[in-house]
Structure 1
Amino acid sequence: MLVLSRKSKQKIIISDNIEIEILSIEGDQVKIGINAPKDIDVNRYEVYEAIKKENNAASKKINIKRFLN
């Protein structure tokens, strides 16, 4: 894991097309802005995990239906 220190208004660039900017730091919260191409999904980790869980559950339902027919 790469660990970087950034101050407010400083940026990080990933692979020439993803830009992350530290917008503000207030107490224990850091607000970040992310500019990425529309074909790249950007989610909070907990949202990503929920989507992954839902997709796994949906794929299991599909496989069960296939075996029942």
Structure 2
Amino acid sequence: MLVLSRKIDEALIIGNAEIRIVVLGIQGDQVKLGIEAPRHITVMREELFQAQQHNQMASLSVPPETLTDLTASNPKTPLRPQEKKPKSP
């Protein structure tokens, strides 16, 4: 792990100047960072990323027939895209 010290308004550059992280402010034990990155790069807080990974793993453990049973028991469940009714002329 690289450890750097930065002051307010100082920045870090990651990669080929593709990602820029700027220290915007420091209040007590909190540091406000500004992140400039191309739209194709996802930026999120680590705890949200971990929760997303956990949810994805949990969804893989659900047997497909369980989902079918849930859909059949709830008539208000929207149709899947491949099951949409064709529009009448």
TM above 0.5, yes or no, is yes
Shorter-chain TM-score: which interval? 0.7 to 0.9
Q: Secondary structure at the match of 1:53?
A: helix
Q: TM-score, normalised by structure 1?
A: 0.85
* Residue of structure 2 equivalent to 1:45: 46
For normalisation by structure 2, the TM-score amounts to: 0.67
Structure 2 CA distance for aligned equivalents of residues 57 and 20 of structure 1: 33
Aligned length: 64
Matched, 1:11 2:11: yes
The structure that is strand-richer by fraction is 1
- Greater C-alpha radius of gyration: 2
Structure 1: segments with no counterpart, 5+ residues: none
Paired residue for 2:55? 54
Percent of pairs identical after alignment?
44
| Distance of 2:36 and 2:42 partners within structure 1 | 11
CA distance in 2, matches of 1:42, 1:25: 21
Which runs of 5 or more residues in structure 2 are unaligned? 66-89
